[in-house]
Amino acid sequence: MYHLSKVLNLSFDEAIAHTKEALKQQGFGVLTEIDAKAAFKQKLDVEFRRYTILGACHPRIAYSILQTEDKAGVFYPCNVVVQEQEGGTVEVSAIDPTVMFAALENPGAKGIALEAKTLMDKVMEQL
């Protein structure tokens, strides 16, 4: 599985706020926020469900991985998706950092990826 996911019984806006707070509590900052519904409407004139991509970054983890692998920045930020599901539920999904960094053959990078996964697991537990 390439992602960590959890279904929430919250409104979409509450789920966004709750996800941002959980990320913050584990040391992540949200660098970008993409409203896919609005982008698809503007660029393609099509309707889409509420779907927001939060570009999250943990500064200490990012610094560590870039000290180990200078090209690892191509993987950043770690994306966290908040999307509406049928039936009124909202699902939050995050990239699994160990999968994201699996292409790196540097042993030091593997340990950093495990640390990042531990933090992202804690985010998902808080949701």
**Spatial distance between the Cα atoms of 48 and 40, rounded to a whole number of angstroms:** 7
- 76: three-class secondary structure by DSSP: coil
* Cβ(29)–Cβ(57) below 8 Å: yes
Q: How many residues are present in the chain?
A: 127
- Summary mean pLDDT of the chain: 95
Residue 59: cis peptide before it, omega within 30 degrees of 0 = no
CA distance 35 to 108: 35
Percent of the chain with pLDDT over 90: 89
Residue 40, token pair as written in the block: 């698809």
Please tell me what DSSP assigns to residue 74: G
The pLDDT value given to residue 87: 85
Is residue 86 over pLDDT 90? no
The tens digit of pLDDT for each residue in 67-77 reads 999 999 999 99
Reduce the DSSP state of residue 21 to 3 states and report it: helix
Span 23-54, pLDDT tens digits:
999 999 999 999 999 999 999 999 999 999 99
Alpha helices in the chain (DSSP H): 12-25, 36-44, 59-68, 97-100, 107-126
Arithmetic mean of pLDDT, 69-88: 92
Is 105 a residue whose pLDDT tops 90? Answer: no
Better pLDDT: 105 or 65: 65
Provide the pLDDT for residue 50.
97
